[in-house]
Amino acid sequence: MRQAAVMNLPLIADPGATGPAGAAVLQMLAETSPLGVIGFDAGLAVVYRNPVAARWAEPDWLVHADDRPGLIAARQALTTAGDRYEQIYRWVSAAGGLRWIKETAQRLAETVEGICVIAHQADITDALDQATGQSQRLLRQEGLVRCAADPMLTLDADLQVLSCNHAAERLLGAPATDIEGRPLGRWLCTEEAPALSLTVGTGQAMTLRHAHGATIPVTASISLLQLRGDSFYTVIVRDAREQVRLQQQLAAAQVQQRLVLQAAGMGSWQRDVDARRLRVSAEARAVLGCAAQELLEDFEHLILHIHPADRDAVSAQWQQAIDQGLPYEQAYRVIVAEGETRWIGERGLCLAAPQQRRLLAVVMDVTEQRQREAELAAMAERLRALGAQLVQVQEHERRHLARELHDEIGQQLTAALIELRDPALRLPQALRTRWTEQFGGLIEQVRTLSLDLSPAMLVDLGLVPALRGYAQRQATLGGLSLSFSADEGLGRCTPEIENALFRIAQEATTNVLRHASATRLTVSLTQAAGALHLVIADDGVGLPADPAETARHFGMMGMRERAALLGGTLRLASRAGRGLSIEARIPVGH
């Protein structure tokens, strides 16, 4: 079926045209018309169709049943009264097709070739579809505007409000009937209304006035529309009360932060990484030794104040903070105007926002702190040296006492025992037996004490045999089952390391016998990661709950100090009723 545009064409013939000439004109115009043309006789029978109407007159297309009575009535009325009519109706097909037809008819003044009514038919389906779609789009757009979350106003060139949405009604506290048709200035605060002007763009600040009198700070996005020579403004408003509140809180926090930094003798700086801008507070300038009028635009200016030996490390730390976004802490030296060197402590982090990375830092003068730390480090080194010297003196005295016990007292007790056993010495047998046992016990005690003071096996054979022998003797003495292990191929270490580990094993094993109430003793010596690991463990009662009690009764401080003097550590693991494990770790040279 051919589609024709909707056109307001004149009728195809003058109603007064008569005779053969008039008939010829009617036929010529009808034959060339882009519309369908139908001729009716007085009985509404179709007596003429032009080519367009002939093509439309397909047998499967009929006037819609709902539209047929109105169309017939209009045609009948034209045959009896009136001179023209206009009807819009639907054609439907057996296959379910639908077309809209606009039919305009007029009655001729005289019958021409049996025709008394001429009707023009135009297919307006596409035009109606297009108009319907446009109307639906307009309705959807209006619905979106009405339901938008942001308040929206439409103004004319005189800034009169033409329309507003529901959000604008809520913001101003008034219905649309009180807003539309009135000047925008009515809703502005008194100070802004006289000088009101709209600037196309985003972010224009203004202060609206609620219907109840409260002021509302807002930001407006304004666009201008030119339509048929008239200007219209669309204003999208965003309530800025929360933003203003946050800005006020931020300003107060910044003041408070500055007061805190001033009280603590600190300063701050921040760098806009992407824009390469640096802002340094007056306090930070004083800390860094920068003159108040000195230009500090970016890091290349700030880096000049840092000691040359520290510049690379400081720059690397800044770059790492920017790349990883993690907090950092560093200390470096700066050279102040007078030429003195000052230590600076700095803590900072990088805040990453889209297209705006900022590196923030707080700085303070830590020169005195670094000096005290250096003094404490020197004192600690002196104490360590004194401790090492004390251990050496202690070991020397132990060896001396061991020799005295073995060479002097031990020999004299042995000589006395031999004399007691001499038959020539007339003593009662009971007395001889008692004294012999007592002297034998004294000799064994002297021997044990001498070995404890300076085990000859440690000096002659090394740490592993000395530990094994000592552990076996202590396990036998305490009635404990022993598990001893040592890595194969462990060589000799320096006397200081061997002596320290042996003394730690002595103290730990003695504690097991005295306090643990244990049944099993475990001793192991291994080497891993460039260090010797000595573990003494038991299945006894474990450590007391009070750490001070542990340090006071179990000599833990002495074991820790022995390990620390050689750069090692001592670690304890204990659970009540589950025993105690002591691990000493001492680095060894390669």
Topology given in CATH for the domain delimited by 459-587: Heat Shock Protein 90 (3.30.565)
Instruction: Please tell me the predicted confidence (pLDDT) of residue 214.
Output: 87
Q: Where are the alpha helices (DSSP H) in 164-296?
A: 166-172, 176-179, 241-263, 282-288
Angle between helices 367-404 and 429-453 (to 10 degrees): 150
Both tokens assigned to 12: 């195809």
> How far apart, in whole angstroms, are the C-alpha atoms of residue 486 and residue 468?
9
Both tokens assigned to 382: 């002196």
Q: First and final CA of the chain: distance in angstroms?
A: 102
Instruction: Please tell me the predicted confidence (pLDDT) of residue 570.
Output: 92
Instruction: Please tell me the predicted confidence (pLDDT) of residue 396.
Output: 65
> How far apart, in whole angstroms, are the C-alpha atoms of residue 298 and residue 79?
95
pLDDT digits (tens, 9 = 90+) for 204-213: 888 888 888 8
> How far apart, in whole angstroms, are the C-alpha atoms of residue 290 and residue 38?
99
Closest to 388 in 3D by CA, of 469, 499, 490, 307 = 499
Q: Give 372's contacts (C-beta < 8 A, 6+ positions apart).
A: none
Beta bridge partners of 349: 360
Asked whether the CA dihedral 417, 423, 428, 429 is positive or negative, the reply is positive
List per-residue pLDDT tens for the chain, 590 residues long: 333 333 333 333 333 444 454 555 556 666 767 788 888 887 778 888 888 887 776 666 788 888 888 888 888 887 777 678 888 888 887 777 788 888 888 887 777 767 778 888 888 888 777 766 655 565 555 555 666 778 888 888 888 888 888 888 888 899 988 888 888 888 887 666 566 677 777 778 888 888 888 888 888 888 888 877 788 888 888 888 877 777 777 777 666 666 666 655 688 888 888 878 888 888 888 888 877 666 666 777 788 888 999 999 999 999 999 888 889 999 999 988 777 889 999 999 888 776 678 888 989 889 888 888 888 888 877 777 776 667 666 666 666 676 666 556 666 667 666 777 777 777 787 877 787 777 777 777 776 776 666 676 777 788 888 889 889 988 998 899 999 999 888 888 888 888 889 889 988 988 888 888 899 999 999 999 889 999 999 998 888 766 666 555 557 888 888 888 888 999 988 877 788 999 999 998 64
> How far apart, in whole angstroms, are the C-alpha atoms of residue 112 and residue 106?
13
Task: Please state, in angstroms and as integers, the Cα–Cα distance from residue 117 to each residue in 16, 85, 104, following that order.
Answer: 13, 11, 11
Say if CB 588 and CB 527 are below 8 A apart: yes
DSSP per residue, 273-324: TTTTEEEE-HHHHHHHT--TT----SHHHHGGGB-TTTHHHHHHHHHHHHHH
**Extents of the domains making up the chain:** 19-130, 149-239, 265-360, 366-454, 459-587
Kindly report each contact of residues 438-446 with a partner whose C-beta sits within 8 Å and lies 24 or more positions away, as own/partner. Answer: 439/413, 442/413, 443/410, 443/413, 443/414, 443/417, 446/405, 446/406, 446/409, 446/410, 446/413
Say if CB 102 and CB 124 are below 8 A apart: yes
DSSP symbol at 152: E
> How far apart, in whole angstroms, are the C-alpha atoms of residue 103 and residue 38?
10
Closest to 445 in 3D by CA, of 493, 405, 478, 485 = 405
Instruction: Please tell me the predicted confidence (pLDDT) of residue 556.
Output: 81
DSSP per residue, 517-546: --SEEEEEEEEETTEEEEEEEE-S----S-
- At residue 97, the 3 state secondary structure works out as coil
Classify residue 238 by burial, with Cβ atoms within 10 Å: 0-12, 13-18, 19+: middle
Backbone angles phi, psi at 89, to 5 degrees: -145, 175
DSSP per residue, 469-496: HHHHHHHHHHT-EEEEEE-TT-----HH
Instruction: Please tell me the predicted confidence (pLDDT) of residue 462.
Output: 84
Q: Which segments within 328-392 are labelled E, that is strand?
A: 328-335, 341-353, 356-365
Instruction: Please tell me the predicted confidence (pLDDT) of residue 17.
Output: 43
- Please determine whether the domains at 149-239 and 265-360 fall in the same fold group of CATH: yes
Choosing among 3.20.10.10, 3.30.565.10, 3.30.450.20, 3.40.50.150, the CATH entry for 19-130 is 3.30.450.20
> How far apart, in whole angstroms, are the C-alpha atoms of residue 549 and residue 543?
9
Q: What is the CATH number of domain 149-239?
A: 3.30.450.20
Domain 265-360: CATH class, spelled out: alpha beta
Instruction: Please tell me the predicted confidence (pLDDT) of residue 279.
Output: 84
Q: Is the backbone of residue 346 left (phi > 0), alpha (psi -120 to 50) or beta?
A: beta
Both tokens assigned to 276: 């390469």
DSSP symbol at 160: B
Both tokens assigned to 279: 């802002």
